[in-house]
Amino acid sequence: MWRQWSQALIRNLPGLLEVLVLSRLNMRQGTSYAITTILNYAIIAIGAMTVFGALGVSWDKLQWLAAALSVGLGFGLQEIFGNFVSGLIILFERPVRIGDTVTIGTFSGTVSKIRIRATTITDFDRKEVIIPNKAFVTERLINWSLSDTVTRVVIRLGVAYGSDLDKVKEVLLKAAHDHPKVMQEPAPAVFFTTFGASTLDHELRLYVRELRDRSYTVDELNRAIDRLCRENDINIAFNQLEVHLRNEKGDEVTEVKRDGKGDDLAPTTAS
């Protein structure tokens, strides 16, 4: 009887709480998920204690079981126990929540499930990656949406030597200001970063409000920058290699130019 009641509570009470109470409150998805998960753990613990009490099993009779579990936790179950405790830490401290976009190790994606032993991340290829909870506590974790979803985008551009740098800055800022997804505060900024081997290197730094807008914004800005550079006679440069060959007499020089694609251009000979 008690077993049936416990199973019914475990199966139905968290769902009822979600529908009748939590859905009416102004809560994030991760907050309600944490509450129902912790409640589920509590129901399991209370149900187990109630069943043992109904069977007349006292703590004195369970001491041997506790001792055996302690030995097991010290050896074979150590990782499982560590992942369980880490799962509780995740639910209470909430370094990650359901719906957050995270990067841990080489994996990036959206948190879809937080279970007793592991957390499920759905990556951008729609693959579900199961990661032990302990990794979220002990390894370096990047949460792209913990405080907000605003993120910075950096677009790099190399122009040819001799280009009008003021015009380059004007073109890059125009492309950013004209794009609807680019935030105007913080304002986009252009920096002349370095003198490259064949290019004058610039960076356009801007912010977008949503993570999902990053890829589309980069694509559309690159196209706009290419168009504006052509309209304003700005040469987007590439790496070039010039090789000079001198014969034994030293009176003839052959110059071979190679473009950034590795293709040899027509040689020129001078005497």
- Are 222 and 251 within one domain? no
pTM score:
0.64
- Are 177 and 157 within one domain? yes
- Are 156 and 219 within one domain? yes
The secondary structure of the chain in percent helix, strand, coil, rounded to multiples of 5, reads 45, 25, 30
What pLDDT does residue 182 have?
97
Residue 18 tokens, joined: 């979600």
Inside any domain, residue 189? yes
What pLDDT does residue 57 have?
64
Cβ atoms < 10 Å from Cβ of 152? 11
Cβ–Cβ under 8 Å, residues 137 and 89: yes
- Are 190 and 256 within one domain? no
Give the chain's domain count: 2
- Are 178 and 215 within one domain? yes
Strands 200-208 and 189-195 turn out to be antiparallel
Inside any domain, residue 91? no
Range of the structural domain that residue 175 is part of = 151-231
- Are 163 and 227 within one domain? yes
- Are 253 and 226 within one domain? no
Q: Which long-range contacts (CB under 8 A, 24 or more apart) does 19-22 make?
A: none
- Are 212 and 264 within one domain? no
Mean pLDDT by 10-residue block, N- to C-terminus, for the chain (271 residues)?
Answer: 56 58 55 66 70 66 67 66 78 83 92 88 93 90 90 96 96 96 96 93 96 94 96 88 68 54 52 44
- Are 219 and 245 within one domain? no
Cβ–Cβ under 8 Å, residues 172 and 195: no
- Are 215 and 252 within one domain? no
Alpha carbon separation from 155 to 133, 151, 190, 217 (Å, rounded) = 35, 13, 10, 10
Q: What is the CATH number of the domain that holds 203?
A: 3.30.70.100
CA atoms within 13 A on the CB side of 217: 25
Contacts of 263 (CB under 8 A, 6+ apart): none
Inside any domain, residue 249? yes
What pLDDT does residue 117 have?
84
- Are 184 and 252 within one domain? no
3-class state of residue 124 by DSSP: coil
The dihedrals phi and psi of 190, each to the nearest 5 degrees, come to -120, 135
Measured distance CA(30)–CA(38) in Å, rounded: 12
